[in-house]
Amino acid sequence: MIYEIHLYVPKTGTLTPSMLEWLFENGQSSDQPEQFWPVRKIRPKALARLMLRLDNTLVPLEGPGNDVELHYPNGELGIVLYAHDRGVILFFPYMAYGIYSRLVLGICYTYIRYLYDAAGFWSFDPQLNVLSYADDYQSLEDTALLMDRIMPKLLPE
């Protein structure tokens, strides 16, 4: 099972629940005028170059259209940054109980914090319904606790 965190650069400098609602309802539509979009348009390849400055071990792959995937070099950790024209989705596996979950979350938190500091990305965790501007370490801890609670229920006995 995959966990995901969505990252966007709000045009106003702040991401709000109503903006996320609009994105949920209209984000897949290509007929929305630019002035209605609450988040900035980004260039996925430029964002990939920015991320490679932070971590040059990331493996870039071409995605659909102009999208770019950046895979963490250790495939067993399952970390992928998916850059599209309006933001980034950070994917990583649910992991319970242990050092690996904290390691994966630490790496992900580093990427989230870097994107906030370098480019103004805010994050949204749809599993916890938490909006963050990236210095919320408590969200990281809440994510770890959620994985510890949910993962055992998903594993066969």
Where are the domains positioned within the chain? 2-151
Phi then psi for residue 117, to 5 deg, are -65, -40
Write out the two tokens for 125: 């965790």
| Predicted TM-score (pTM) above 0.75 | yes
Q: CATH fold of 2-151, please?
A: TATA-Binding Protein (3.30.310)
Q: Is the dihedral of CA 27, 32, 34, 36 positive or negative?
A: negative
102-146: pLDDT as tens digits: 788 889 889 998 999 999 999 888 877 777 765 555 666 666 666
The answer to whether 150 touches 3, Cβ cutoff 8 Å, is: no
